[in-house]
C-alpha cells in the first residue's frame, strides 16, 4: 500500500461492514493516513480480529457490532464514533468521514420471481440503512466532512443473476445526487462503483474460472480489481484533495462499460 500522506490526521471516520474485503481495506487506508476509526460487522469475533489487525499497524481503532438494518445497532455505532475522538484525545466528539459499505445479495432469482421478504431485505440493507445511518449521524458531522456510498458497476448494468441487487445499487447513484444537494455546503457526498473484486462477497463469480475470465476480458486492464484499488479511491474522495467534488460517482472497474 502506497501512502505518501497522512491526509486524515485528527479526523474521525466510520466504515460499515469493515472487518474484511473492501470495507476493511478502506478502513485500513484511512487509518494508515491518520484517521481514528470505528469499524463494524455483524459478528463480535470478526470485529475483534479486525481491530487487532489495525492496531498492529499503529492505527487508532475501535470496533462495534452492527447489523445496519437494526436501529439500536446504528445508534450504538454513531455514539461510539462521536465518542472515539474524545477517547483518542480530542476535546469534542464529531464525525469527519462516513463510508457506507454494507450490502447484501441474498438471491440469484429473476426480479419477477423474487419473494417479497427478499425484496425487503435488499432494500433495507442496500439503500434504506444508508439513509437511516446518515439521519442518525448528521447532527455530528463536522464542517468539511465527507460521506461515501459504495455502489457497484452492476448499478449501471444490472446482471441477470444479481439483477435486483444491481437495481438497489442504481438507487445509490440517485441517492448520492440527492444527498449531495441536501447536505451541501458543509458535507460532501460521493459514491464509488467498484468493478469485480475477488472478495468473499463475490466468491460465486470470481472463483469460477470461466466467469472470472469473462469478467477480466470485459475490462480494459484485463484484470479483476483489488480491495486496495477501492481503498485508494475512497481515500481520495474523503480527503481534501477532492474538496471540490460532490454528488459524483467514481467508477473503479478497470474500464468496464458504465457510461459516456
- Cite the active site residues: 165
Contact 170, 176 (CB under 8 A): no
Integer distance in angstroms from the first to the last C-alpha of the chain? Answer: 31
How would DSSP label each residue in 65-96?
Answer: E--TT-HHHHHHHHHHHHHHHHHTT-SS--EE
Residue with cell 476493511: 24
C-alpha span between 20 and 26 (Å, rounded): 10
Closest C-alpha to 228, from 189, 190, 204, 194: 194
Closest C-alpha to 150, from 102, 87, 83, 113: 102
Amino acid at each position: 500500500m502506497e501512502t505518501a500522506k497522512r491526509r486524515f490526521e485528527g479526523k474521525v471516520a466510520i466504515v460499515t461492514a469493515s472487518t474484511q474485503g473492501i470495507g476493511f481495506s478502506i478502513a485500513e487506508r484511512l487509518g494508515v493516513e491518520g484517521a481514528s476509526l470505528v469499524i463494524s460487522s455483524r459478528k463480535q469475533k470478526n470485529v475483534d480480529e479486525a481491530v487487532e489487525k489495525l492496531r498492529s499497524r499503529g492505527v487508532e481503532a475501535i470496533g462495534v457490532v452492527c447489523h445496519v438494518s437494526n436501529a439500536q445497532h446504528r445508534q450504538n455505532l454513531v455514539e461510539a464514533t462521536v465518542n472515539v475522538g474524545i477517547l483518542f484525545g480530542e476535546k469534542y466528539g464529531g464525525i469527519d468521514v462516513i463510508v457506507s459499505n454494507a450490502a447484501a445479495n441474498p438471491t440469484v432469482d429473476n426480479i419477477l420471481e423474487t419473494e417479497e421478504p427478499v425484496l425487503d431485505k435488499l432494500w433495507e440493507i442496500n439503500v434504506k440503512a444508508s439513509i437511516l445511518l446518515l439521519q442518525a449521524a448528521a447532527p455530528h458531522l463536522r464542517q468539511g466532512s465527507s460521506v461515501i456510498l459504495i455502489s457497484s458497476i452492476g448499478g449501471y448494468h444490472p446482471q441477470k443473476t444479481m439483477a435486483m441487487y444491481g437495481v438497489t445499487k442504481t438507487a445509490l447513484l440517485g441517492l448520492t445526487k440527492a444527498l449531495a444537494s441536501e447536505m451541501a455546503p458543509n458535507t460532501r457526498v460521493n459514491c464509488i462503483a467498484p468493478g469485480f473484486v475477488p472478495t468473499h462477497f463475490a466468491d460465486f463469480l470470481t472463483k469460477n474460472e470461466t466467469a472470472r475470465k469473462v469478467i477480466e476480458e470485459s475490462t480494459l486492464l484485463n484484470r479483476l480489481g483489488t480491495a486496495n484499488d477501492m481503498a485508494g479511491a475512497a481515500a481520495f474522495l474523503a480527503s481534501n484533495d477532492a474538496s471540490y467534488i460532490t454528488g459524483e460517482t467514481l467508477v473503479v472497474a478497470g474500464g468496464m462499460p458504465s457510461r459516456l
